[in-house]
Structure 1
Amino acid sequence: MSSGVLALLGSGETGPGMTKVHRELLTHLESPRAVNLNTPFGFQENVPQMTEKLLSYFSTSLHLTMAALDLRSYEDSNPAQRQAFKDAIRRANYVFAGPGSPSYALRQWEPINLGEDLTSVLAQGGVVCFSSAAALTLGHYTAPVYEIYKSGNELEWLAGLNLMAAVGLDCVVLPHYNNAEGRDYDTSRCYIGERRLRLLEKMLPPDVGILGVDEHTAAVIDLDSRTIAVKGKGQVHWRLNGKVNDFANASVIELQDLGAHARTLEPVQELAPPTLAVVSESELVALRAAQERLADSLNAIRAAARAQGHYAIADEIRDALNASGIVVRDGAIAAK
């Protein structure tokens, strides 16, 4: 059984430069079964819109039909939903996740042991493509970027999913490595800055490296050839024991040169046929839009009834809308 490909994108997952990378990744698969994980941005209010944007990109730019797997919150899901999420990932051969919060994603993924599912995908020759926040979760340790950069929390490492162990590397993954949004202050090293990263490096156990990936750049790890290929606008960086090696675009690095140890990956045992349907996020978006149109139409009928003095009919429509989760007040309508 051939092993798969792990692609780490520094940013720009839907940009023109990364479209070429996605296209090359898909050549590894005879019949793609692609899924998108919405967990990293599951805390945001615009989950349907963000998911629809990603699905539309893959459909339009790559002619790829991608199913949306929904696990926004561990606490708000039940065991059957979590298992359906895991099973759907194991059956896929192209698994994508991208922007959001790495610490939030870890809090949802760690309890379900997502690492074993992603390892199974790689063991069966599939592709795992994680960008930005999602890529941060794949190392032995994860930097809580937002907490450090936005909230001023103390420097610390979180335990990561450690999918990098599947390729034989004991390391941290750091996308947005060359970020320069700060202009007159240092937002490189995934917004942490070089000074703070050096302090964090000292907190790592000995021989744990840092794999940095520049923005609009991909580190494509082929488990069959045991290599990392650098693709895109920037570089890939390997930091270990005080030394930094920079690898330019089009470089191909032997994993063993980074100290990686070969591993034999085993897929999760054969799964039973799915018993739960996975609903596409695009279907949920369409359903919500249809519900909103129906609510608007009913509210217009209700307003006409009130204008004509048919208050009993108007009240019945109001009560029906309220019972379905639509809050109706005189002159206003809103979803609960």
Structure 2
Amino acid sequence: MPGRPGVLVLMGSGETSPTMVEVHRSVIRRLGGGARAVLLDTPYAFQENAADISARARGYFARSVGVEVEVGDEVGGADWVFSGPGSPTFALERWTATHVAGDLRARLRAREGATVLASAAACTAGVATVPVYEIYKVGAAPHWRPGLDLLGVLGLTVAVVPHYDNTEGGTHDTRYCYLGERRLTRMEPELPPGAAVLGIDEHTALIVDLDTEEALVAGRGRVTIRRPGSQAVLPAGTTTNLEEIRRLARGETTVNGTPPVISPTPRQVSLAETTRSCEERFAAALAGHDAAGAVRAVLDLETEIARWGADTEQDEGGVEQARESLRLLITKLGARSDSPCPGDLVASLVESVLALRGELRRQGRYDLADALRTALLRGGVLVADTPNGPRWTPTGSDRQPMSGPPRTGF
């Protein structure tokens, strides 16, 4: 690590999603080649699927970022350290009981190497931590836990609150890391004297160059510095510095009243938005009897699900929700084959669906391919796999046979 540029990254969520790929790449580029990268799995180590989460994360960083990551807790000599989702309090208890908390503070104090903390891990970085599992899932009274206060090394007295703009609750307020306005307002007076809330939206990162103290907001959301009765909002594309953030956290105005610089940045699209777009395209294609267009919408959604497959968080519009939408669209494709439209159109639709099934099978996504075949059967089309490819025939005594021999799909 000695000689490696110092950088701190705090992410609100989306740490292993396509929206944060360029953020990770920019950090790795700063370090140069041959960087030793360590994944701290502590926040989710208690989960039964911990090994699977680690494998997905390692695959994401290898495939999308170009860095091989080892799982462990020896962070002292690492050039790049990452930690993400899980339980903030579980991580706090383990890290404060071992050398990890001290090692993380030492990294920031020395201002060497990259430290990337996201979601639950980011929640531990401040002077106070939201015990989100205990409050939101168990029903404990709203309260803070003492944090690692890593940011105190940088002169920041703040409580980091990721998932700041969360909307998963739908009918109830889940902003502010699932606290909602009522709970956060109740908790703010209990913060240590002079402390502010540093809120980081989902799929958003605050990147701090520890050598120059320059700071950048990247991603699709905002960073909010909140104090009782006031707040400062830094949208994506904002360039500022640590001193400005310190002043805002103390409730002071910016130096000479000069606001941070905001530059246009490419808007990051969430999986939820992509899913809605594909659903709309699919509906329009079916309404226009455009079988190929409907299949393209399904294929595009499947491709996006594959891109987001490594995401370890379940924000609004997560992978599982997108898969449910995909299965629904596949079912609708199969049902459409039973509609009283002209025979050539039915043939075109079924063959387009079989093309999709063939693509899914080639990708090894047999569960979705089987779901599509079942959907076709419910719609009155029997698919038989042969050495020469799949063949289909209408089923049911009340159906008119298709003209000509059974069609061969892809």
TM-score if structure 1 supplies the norm length? Answer: 0.70
| One-letter amino acid matched to 1:110 | T
* Superposition map of 1:113-262 within 5 A: 113-122=99-108, 123=110, 125-259=112-246
Tell whether 2:85 aligns with 1:99. Answer: yes
**Which residue of structure 1 aligns with residue 284 of structure 2?**
none
Higher helix share: 2
> What 5-or-longer segments of structure 1 have no aligned partner?
70-84, 262-336
Tell whether 2:10 aligns with 1:23. Answer: no
The whole-number CA distance in structure 1 between the counterparts of 2:225 and 2:240 is: 11
Q: 1:260 to 1:25 in 2, by over 3 A?
A: farther
Deviates more, 1:161-170 or 1:121-130: 121-130
Displacement after TM superposition at 1:114 (Å): 2.3
Q: Which has the higher contact order (CA 8 A, sep 6+)?
A: 1
Match of 2:6 among 4, 7, 10: 4
| One-letter amino acid matched to 1:211 | L
Contact map agreement 2:5 2:30 (CA 8 A) in 1:
no
Match of 1:56 among 45, 56, 59: 59
**Which residue of structure 1 aligns with residue 324 of structure 2?**
none
The whole-number CA distance in structure 1 between the counterparts of 2:101 and 2:216 is: 23
Equivalences, count: 244
| One-letter amino acid matched to 1:251 | T
SS at match of 2:184: helix
Contact map agreement 1:36 1:97 (CA 8 A) in 2:
yes
The whole-number CA distance in structure 2 between the counterparts of 1:207 and 1:41 is: 31
Displacement after TM superposition at 1:191 (Å): 0.4
Contact map agreement 1:115 1:162 (CA 8 A) in 2:
no
The whole-number CA distance in structure 1 between the counterparts of 2:217 and 2:112 is: 20
The whole-number CA distance in structure 1 between the counterparts of 2:184 and 2:80 is: 32
**Which residue of structure 1 aligns with residue 358 of structure 2?**
none
The whole-number CA distance in structure 1 between the counterparts of 2:111 and 2:233 is: 31
SS at match of 1:115: helix
The whole-number CA distance in structure 1 between the counterparts of 2:151 and 2:30 is: 20
Displacement after TM superposition at 1:260 (Å): 6.2
TM-score if structure 2 supplies the norm length? Answer: 0.57
The whole-number CA distance in structure 2 between the counterparts of 1:168 and 1:221 is: 13
The whole-number CA distance in structure 1 between the counterparts of 2:129 and 2:226 is: 15
The whole-number CA distance in structure 1 between the counterparts of 2:105 and 2:31 is: 17
Q: 1:2 to 1:60 in 2, by over 3 A?
A: closer
**Which residue of structure 1 aligns with residue 98 of structure 2?**
112
**Which residue of structure 2 aligns with residue 270 of structure 1?**
none
Contact map agreement 1:236 1:246 (CA 8 A) in 2:
yes
The whole-number CA distance in structure 1 between the counterparts of 2:151 and 2:221 is: 21
The whole-number CA distance in structure 1 between the counterparts of 2:30 and 2:101 is: 21
SS at match of 1:89: coil
| One-letter amino acid matched to 1:177 | Y
| One-letter amino acid matched to 2:57 | L
The whole-number CA distance in structure 1 between the counterparts of 2:209 and 2:156 is: 13
Please give the per-residue CA displacement for 1:186-234, whole angstroms capped at 9, x wherever unaligned.
Answer: 0000100011111110111221011100000001111122132100000
Please give the per-residue CA displacement for 1:39-71, whole angstroms capped at 9, x wherever unaligned.
Answer: 1001111111111111111111112111111xx
Displacement after TM superposition at 1:97 (Å): 0.5
* Superposition map of 1:244-323 within 5 A: 244-259=231-246
Calculate percent identity across the aligned residue pairs: 42
The whole-number CA distance in structure 1 between the counterparts of 2:65 and 2:246 is: 35
The whole-number CA distance in structure 2 between the counterparts of 1:251 and 1:107 is: 34
Displacement after TM superposition at 1:240 (Å): 2.5
Please give the per-residue CA displacement for 1:283-308, whole angstroms capped at 9, x wherever unaligned.
Answer: xxxxxxxxxxxxxxxxxxxxxxxxxx
Flag the structure with larger Rg: 2
The whole-number CA distance in structure 1 between the counterparts of 2:198 and 2:9 is: 12
SS at match of 2:207: strand
Match of 1:34 among 34, 37, 43: 37
Displacement after TM superposition at 1:125 (Å): 1.9
Contact map agreement 1:98 1:135 (CA 8 A) in 2:
yes
| One-letter amino acid matched to 1:39 | T
**Which residue of structure 2 aligns with residue 90 of structure 1?**
76
Please give the per-residue CA displacement for 1:11-63, whole angstroms capped at 9, x wherever unaligned.
Answer: 01111110000001111102311000111001111111111111111111112
**Which residue of structure 2 aligns with residue 302 of structure 1?**
none
Displacement after TM superposition at 1:259 (Å): 2.6
> What 5-or-longer segments of structure 2 have no aligned partner?
249-410
The whole-number CA distance in structure 2 between the counterparts of 1:3 and 1:241 is: 36
The whole-number CA distance in structure 2 between the counterparts of 1:234 and 1:112 is: 34
The whole-number CA distance in structure 2 between the counterparts of 1:11 and 1:239 is: 19
Displacement after TM superposition at 1:239 (Å): 1.0
Deviates more, 1:251-260 or 1:28-37: 251-260
Contact map agreement 1:207 1:241 (CA 8 A) in 2:
no
